A and B are shown apart, each in its own frame.
Chain A
Amino acid sequence: MLRRAVALVSGAAFVLWAVATLTFFAIRLIPGDPAQAILGGPGSQASQEALDQVRREYGLDRPLIVQYLAMLGRLLTGDLGHSYALKVPVADLLSSQLGGTMLLAVMALVVAWMLALGLSLWSTGRSRFASIIGDGIELTAAALPHFWLAGVLIAVFSSGLDWLPPVSTGTPAGFVLPVVTLAVPLAGFLAQVMRESLLDAMQQPFVLSARARGESTTGIRLRHTIRHAALPAISLSGWALGWLLSGAVVVETIFAMPGLGRTLLQAVTLRDIPVVTGVVLLVALVYVFMTVLTDLASRIADPRLRQEGAR
């Protein structure tokens, strides 16, 4: 048990280190002078002394490898630094923006699950017609780009029917369209996975046993195969949440919601390195955390996984 915990923590630490390193070097490949970014962005009228001073202060004149190690050192103490553009501590900025995005992502995940379960249960194992329809819906849904879907939803439900607001209002109604936009493509993908598992489960002998006890088709779906269908989706949910967090950029921009996505977009545009690093690390952390969580959930849901190695 302890060994597992240690393995988990060191794995997570490795991932975070790799992410921090990759981000550090990747963002320096983008053209743009960080000193300028600190001093007010492109077009700044800062004097040469001011630029030099900032470079010294932020260690930007030191060799790259020294800067890298300094960054690692700061990260180890939990110091995410200050935003170049916004002058506030990165940690403060992220903590204020994280909640909205996480709420959006979690809700989208829940809705996606519901849609996927409903669709796969309805369309699998019945008529060929239902199967084809279900297949088509899943494929289309998974292929929809967020920006297109958002536009269509706004056009239909806001401008057209005036049922829902096109930009966030802070009320629950303002969450509906953004959540649906994020949930639908994910639902398509999850449904495809669930369908595979569902079809497989339906052909298993235990379904035959259940029928032999007089169980109805609905009963079999709800009591037996639904669990089997959900298993792969559980392990995918960790990845899905991370994916949703990155999809949040588009949704937050279109629906004018505050969140990490927009923060990241602004930071990249302004070459605000500490914020970019902070957001990327935060997302990586969420990924790692969710992976652990779904691993646990998988074990709880499927006792067969608890017994690896034992016969």
Chain B
Amino acid sequence: MRPEDAPGDAPALDVAGLHVSFGGREVVHGLSLRLHRGECVALVGESGSGKSVTARALLGMAGAGASTNAARLELLGRDLTDAGERTWRSVRGRDIGLVLQDALVSLDPLRPVGREIEDALRIHERLPRAARRARVLHLLERVGMPDPVFAATRRSGELSGGLRQRALIASALALDPPLLVADEPTTALDVTVQARVLDLLAEIREAGTGILLISHDLAVVARLADRILVMRGGRVIEEGPTETVLRSPREAYTRALLAAVPTDRPRGSALSVRAGASDAATLPPATQYGGRTRTTSAVSGPAPTGHGSERPLLQLHHVSKAFDVPGGRLTAVDDVTLELHAGETLGLVGESGSGKTTVARLALALSTPDSGDVVLDGIDWSRRPERERRPMRPRLGAIYQDALSSFDPRWSVGRILADAAARGRRLSGRADSLVDDLLEQVGLEPALAERRPLTLSGGQRQRVAIARALAAEPEVLVCDEPVSALDVTIQAQILDLLDRLQRDRRLAMLFISHDLGVVRHMSDRVAVMRAGRIVELGDAESVFRAPSHPYTAQLVADAPRIVA
């Protein structure tokens, strides 16, 4: 804290009636908010809610073509309602700091992070070189950077995800501003790293800096915020202390948001609310799941071994795969053994670089293992020449995180689906009805067949991706981070859809994600990967409730939850 900042009840930030519009279209309608030093206020909402625009407007950077006005906009008692660019420039960096998502692109990749951190010092205080250097090192230490001297000379791409996010935070804190705006500061990070960065932010809050936290992730918000404002369509629809909002939300929307979070929600329970239906519809009893008993309560006993008469549909036997990278050879997958059964979901969880995606590629025979076998329904899958594999490919389907880039942007939805259904052959006139059928199955209107993927929303695209994967009537579905890029309510709908489809078609699903809550909700069994190896494998509930491997324990402990 700076000596000239008088302690007291005066809010660091006092906003009333903030309106932001772009060319006549209003995106923020009369937002009011107060933030005190040492307090963390969270703005929660989905995409399009106006939370990011609000955050930027508070720095005078709402964007090109934006017109901002407010009844009151005071920062540290200073009136900024009519501030010009010069005034804002003197405020930014000194009185407010901004931390963005993903330091890989939020820091200039061509400049050493030390320089980025130095900038505020150079602009506002004109410290001499040596003093700046010293301050930069001090800041890096403060944010917990190991070996600050080395790190300061690195560029953002040369540091790991967590370290560069710390550097980004350091750059925002350079002049110790009383207010920090953090827009999705941990969204791009792995679970364990995220936990550490959240700890750091908590520390900063303790030290007296006010934090305005923007996030879509209620669990993260629960960890850090003192008060929550829920935004929807540019308006604040609910506001209150964290406990209150999360425990007993007033608004239906807030309740829907909370319901949509999969963490701690039992397997088979619906996350989303269909229009007209009542809350939290449950699914038919567990007995339909391949003979195994599944309940919503804690599972007792060891993970079921073998499945009686059922042979596994997809098996990986001791597969390994390594790649050449500069500086040697990287073992992406190290002696992994997995099994997938019909009607069952196997979750695969791990952090970035753990090898999950490589496993997916091996399962789909898009990549050949260096050693070990992949067997599909008893047939040798990995060792076959592609010529022989091709006719069997329709038995496997796949959906990915980024649906848009998996489509040919020139093709209409109808064409994409018809092409997938045709399996390389030509379809006779049934194409249209087939396409309509598929669209219906994923909950989309037939009219969408005319449109191109670019014109669809994220949720719609993912549904189309699922429809495409199902078009060839597969038995196995590989899902690689299928919902990571989606808003939480949309995510909920997609997860419910996947569940339903699995039930209806008895799919064997390999569900890969870094989000423990999602995996836990979706999986019957789960495998935990780390550095290419499976460190733990077993029934989902038992693995998460009572992990045997310390790494799993760490993951579980670090995963943010809404209910602590």
Determine the chain A residues whose CB is within 8 A of the CB of B94 once the complex forms. 214
A6 within 8 Å of B (CB atoms): no
- Contacting B at CB under 8 A, from A287-306, are 301-304
A269 at the interface (CB under 8 A from B): no
The verdict on A221 contacting chain B, using a C-beta distance below 8 Å, is: no
With beta carbons under 8 angstroms apart, the residue of B92, B111, B324 that contacts A212 is B92
Q: Please determine whether A211 and B326 come into contact, CB atoms closer than 8 angstroms.
A: no
Q: Does A204 count as interface, using CB distance less than 8 angstroms?
A: yes
Interface centre among B94, B100, B108, B116 (most CB of A within 10 A): B108
> CB distance B100 to A209 under 8 Å?
yes
Residue of A nearest to B101 (CB): A205
CB distance from B550 to the nearest CB of A (A): 24
Please determine whether B102 and A212 come into contact, CB atoms closer than 8 angstroms.
Answer: no
Residue of A nearest to B106 (CB): A205
Contact of B123 among A214, A224, A301, A308 (CB under 8 A): A214
CA A302 to CA B111, docked complex, whole Å: 9
B247 to chain A, nearest CB (A): 35
A157 on the interface (CB 8 Å rule)? no
Return chain B residues, CB-CB under 8 Å to A209: 98, 100, 106-107, 116, 168, 171-172
- A213:B109 contact, CB within 8 angstroms: no
Given contacts A205-B100, A209-B168, contact A309 B105 (CB under 8 A): no
Contact B100 A304 (CB under 8 A): no
Is A12 among interface residues, defined by CB-CB distance under 8 A? no
- Minimum CB distance partner of A207 in chain B: B108
Query: Given A204-B105, A209-B98, A308-B326, are A216 and B89 also a contact pair (CB < 8 Å)?
Result: yes
- For the complex formed, measure the closest distance between the CB of A219 and the CB atoms of chain B, giving whole angstroms: 7
B131 contacts the other chain (CB 8 A): no
B111, B120, B174: the one contacting A224 at CB < 8 Å is: B111
Q: How far is the CB of B77 from chain A (nearest CB, A)?
A: 20
Q: Is B76 interfacial (CB-CB < 8 Å)?
A: no
Return A206 CB to nearest CB of chain B, in Å. Answer: 4
> Residue A87 at the B interface, CB < 8 A?
no
CB-defined contacts of A161 to chain B, threshold 8 Å: none
A206 with B105: in contact, given A212-B98, A214-B89, A309-B326 (CB under 8 Å)?
Answer: yes
| Interface size counted on chain B using CB atoms at 8 A | 41
Interface SS of chain A: helix
CB interface residues, A 187-236, toward B, < 8 Å = 204-206, 208-216, 219, 223-224, 227-228
Q: Is the CB of B158 within 8 A of A303?
A: yes
Contact B110 A303, beta carbon cutoff 8 Å: yes
Bound together, the chains give a CA A218 to CA B153 distance in angstroms of 24
A44 at the interface (CB under 8 A from B): no
Does B36 touch A at the CB level, under 8 Å?
no
Pick from B92, B107, B110, B172: contact of A228, CB under 8 Å: B110
Q: Does A212 contact B90, Cβ atoms closer than 8 Å?
A: no
Is A310 in contact with B89, judged by CB distance below 8 angstroms? no
| Cα distance A216–B84 in the bound complex, in angstroms | 13
Total cross-chain contacts (CB, 8 A): 93
> Are B171 and A213 within 8 A (Cβ)?
yes
Q: How far is the CA of A310 from the CA of B353 in the complex (A)?
A: 11
Q: Which chain A residue lies CB-closest to B98? A: A212
Known: A212-B59, A215-B119, A309-B324. A206 touches B92 (CB 8 A): no
Known: A213-B120, A213-B123, A215-B119. A304 touches B98 (CB 8 A): no
Note all chain B residues with C-beta closer than 8 A to A227.
108, 110-111
Collect the chain B residues with CB atoms within 8 Å of residue A219's CB.
Answer: 123
Return the CB mask of B103-138 against A: 1 if under 8 Å, else 0.
001111111000010011001100000000000000
B38 interface contact, C-beta 8 A: no
Task: Give the complex CA separation of A210 and B61 in angstroms.
Answer: 11
The CA of A311 and the CA of B155, in the complex, are separated in Å by: 14
- Contact B325–A208 (Cβ < 8 Å): no
Is the CB–CB distance between A307 and B174 below 8 Å?
no
Q: In the complex, how many angstroms separate the beta carbon of B279 from the nearest chain A beta carbon?
A: 38
Closest to A227 in B: B110
Q: Which listed residue (A214, A223, A228, A304) contacts B90, Cβ 8 A?
A: A214
B93 at the interface (CB under 8 A from A): yes
Q: Is B446 an interface residue (CB 8 A)?
A: no
* 12 A–B contacts, CB within 8 A, in A order: A205-B101, A205-B105, A209-B172, A211-B61, A212-B92, A214-B92, A214-B123, A214-B124, A227-B110, A303-B157, A307-B158, A311-B353
Q: A208-B61, A212-B92, A215-B89 are in contact. List 15 more A-B contacts (CB 8 A).
A: A205-B102, A205-B105, A208-B100, A209-B106, A209-B107, A209-B116, A209-B171, A210-B116, A212-B59, A214-B89, A224-B108, A224-B111, A227-B111, A303-B109, A307-B157
Which B residues form the contact surface with A (CB < 8 A)?
56, 59, 61, 89-94, 96-98, 100-102, 105-111, 116, 119-120, 123-124, 155, 157-158, 168, 171-172, 174, 323-327, 352-353
Chain A residues within 8 Å of B, Cβ to Cβ: 204-206, 208-216, 219, 223-224, 227-228, 301-304, 307-311
Which 5 A/B pairs are nearest by Cβ-Cβ distance?
Answer: A212-B98, A214-B93, A213-B93, A205-B106, A214-B92
